[in-house]
Amino acid sequence: MAGLDRYFARLRNLDMTYRAVLGLLIVPLLAIMSDAARPADAPNSSAHRITPLKDAPFAQDDDVKCLQGALENGNPDTGPSTFLLKAPAGCQVAPHYHTAEEQLIVIRGSVTTGMQGMRDVTLTAGGIAVMPGKAVHWFSCSGKDSCLMAVTFNQKYDIVWVGAAAAKAATPAAQR
């Protein structure tokens, strides 16, 4: 029996050695795999941010004087972007279109919006309107309270005014 005990003792020692070597190989492999599964850091760390509403950098819109906007993400001059828009009750944005698709999400208030060929619809908090690129559309803050909206564009921002709004936009401000 002494021979069997020595044999099993050697097996246990081999087993322990095997486990140690395996452990030395697996630990670095697991570390490499966990790094590979982790998303790479974005090249522009400024894209990762959290902005409380009270800190959003709202500024008056150049075209629609009753509208204030805050760029939240992206670069509207070169690609996709997201804005927050604030409008007082009664603010109206005349018919226009964008080359990009626009998504409007109502956060607060009542927003009446429409698109050419469709009836106007009043949206409240959580309502969403998706306007395809080059679809003529309009909206207004139609309730008694102010409105807050998020607006996204899937490519470079532009705006083309339609009808009377186009004529007004073409007239220099000094002549209005």
For residue 68, list its beta bridge partners: 60, 86
Type of residue found at 175:
Q
Reported as a single tens digit per residue, the pLDDT across 117-134 is 999 999 999 999 999 999
Position 5 scores a pLDDT of 57
State which residues of the chain have pLDDT below 70. 1-47, 165-176
Is CATH 3.30.70.980 the classification given to domain 46-171? no
Position 47 scores a pLDDT of 60
Position 15 scores a pLDDT of 53
- Tell me the pTM: 0.69
Place of tokens 């190989």: 25
